[in-house]
Structure 1
Amino acid sequence: MNRRIALRHLALISGGLAFIPSCDFSSDDILTAYENLKITQSQKQLLGDISNVIIPAGEIKGALEIEVPDFILVMVDDCLTSEQQTLFTIGLTAFPEYAKNTGNENFSGLSNKEKETVILSGQKLEGDETEEGATNKAISYFLNTTKRFTIQGYMASEYIQSEIMPYSLIPGAYNGSVLISDIQKPRING
């Protein structure tokens, strides 16, 4: 074997071993897919839990199975102003503590009915000029925005538009003598 190649490999391995102790693999990294948001993986998972409570899986797929949390984060990142994004992020950060205080347990440990109660009570929070009031306003804004984008993303998903309520770009021919009982699937958007 060539000595130069062996020395190069030895230097690369030594450099890599020296670099490993400085790496912290336990931290919750910020997702880089979003330009304006600083969202961690655990926050995205919390957002998925909330959207799954809003539209749970049953006979048809739920919001989490259609990956609605990704849609929510893209909409917040692209469509909201920087003030709204800040309010959303503050609410997302403060929600776990609010859920723990309201439900006496972490949000993921609550039953579905308790999660629903925490979300509904959080949507009705009102803010004032105090620090706690500003946090309550942010939580309410976060939950209401999440609900709005969950419903929008779910209804606009490929699954709903192709399998549940087929989308028709051009409406069918007019037939005035069709009974309502003869109609098979509702067609939205046309």
Structure 2
Amino acid sequence: MNRRDALQHVAILLGGVISAPVMAGVMGEKTYTGESLKVTLDQESLLAEVADIIIPTTNTPGAKAAGVEKFIVRVVRDCYTKEEQKAFYEGLSKLDADSKTKFGKGFVDLDVTQKNEMVKQTTVDNKPFFLKMKELTVTGYFTSEIGATKALEYLPIPGRFEGCVPLKPGQKAWAL
């Protein structure tokens, strides 16, 4: 099985289909060759914080530990048109502005409860941004080394194929 097939299977396992730009980004392709928006360190830091609310550190490392923000920046830059990039980063800016309005400080400076509240609010107020952010975060996490080896069960050299194997209580799903 090649990497593309494996990622498609992971997408199905995760309950959806990976969009074409994200799939191209996972494969390391560059589908947009025009001028891209410049991403500031503050925006990158904000992406890391939002991603870490979507996939927090629990008994496995979270999205921030996996460096998901770097994946998001690269995929948005290389695979989204300038208009799509602008819409995505405007959604990110809106989340930060809404945090300042509601709590008097930016998203990065909020406590975890407040961050969760703001992300939950974003799922309603700015659903297109949230869905794109979630897709990029989940894909970036589960295709990272940390996601594939710490959050999923991973066998670098798989044994024979057994299509139906019962999982033990608490056992992780398998990385493909």
TM-score of the aligned structures, taking structure 2 as reference length: 0.67
1:82-97 alignment, distance < 5 Å: 82-97=82-97
Q: Which amino acid aligns with 1:110?
A: L
Q: Deviations over 1:63-98 (max 9, x none)?
A: 111100000111111222332111112222333211
Larger radius of gyration: 1
Residue 160 in 1 paired to residue 116 in 2? Answer: no
Gaps of 5+ in 1: 1-34, 126-138
Matched, 1:187 2:174: yes
Indicate how the Cα distance of structure 1 residues 181 and 151 shifts in structure 2: closer, same or farther if over 3 A, else same.
Answer: closer
Aligned partner letter, 2:119: I
Q: Distance in 2 between matches of 1:76 and 1:59?
A: 29
How much does 1:108 deviate? 2.4
- Please state how far the C-alpha of 1:103 moved relative to its aligned partner: 2.9
Structure 1 residue 100, shift from structure 2 partner: 1.1
* Corresponding residue of 1:50: 50
The number of equivalent residue pairs is: 141
Contact 1:161 1:167 in 2 (8 A): no
Percent identity between the two aligned chains: 27
1:37 CA drift (Å): 2.2
**TM-score with structure 1 setting the length:** 0.62
Q: Which runs of 5+ in 2 are unaligned?
A: 1-34
Counting only pairs closer than 5 Å after superposition, residues 110-189 of structure 1 correspond to structure 2 as 110-125=110-125, 139-163=126-150, 164-166=152-154, 172-174=160-162, 180-181=167-168, 186-189=173-176
CA RMSD of aligned residues (A): 2.9
Q: Secondary structure at the match of 1:121?
A: helix
Q: For the Cα contact (< 8 Å) 1:99–1:105, is it kept in 2?
A: yes
Q: Please give the per-residue CA displacement for 1:84-142, whole angstroms capped at 9, x wherever unaligned.
A: 111112222333211111233322232211111111111211xxxxxxxxxxxxx5433
1 or 2 for the larger relative contact order (CA 8 Å, sep ≥6)?
2
Match of 1:142, as an amino acid? Answer: F
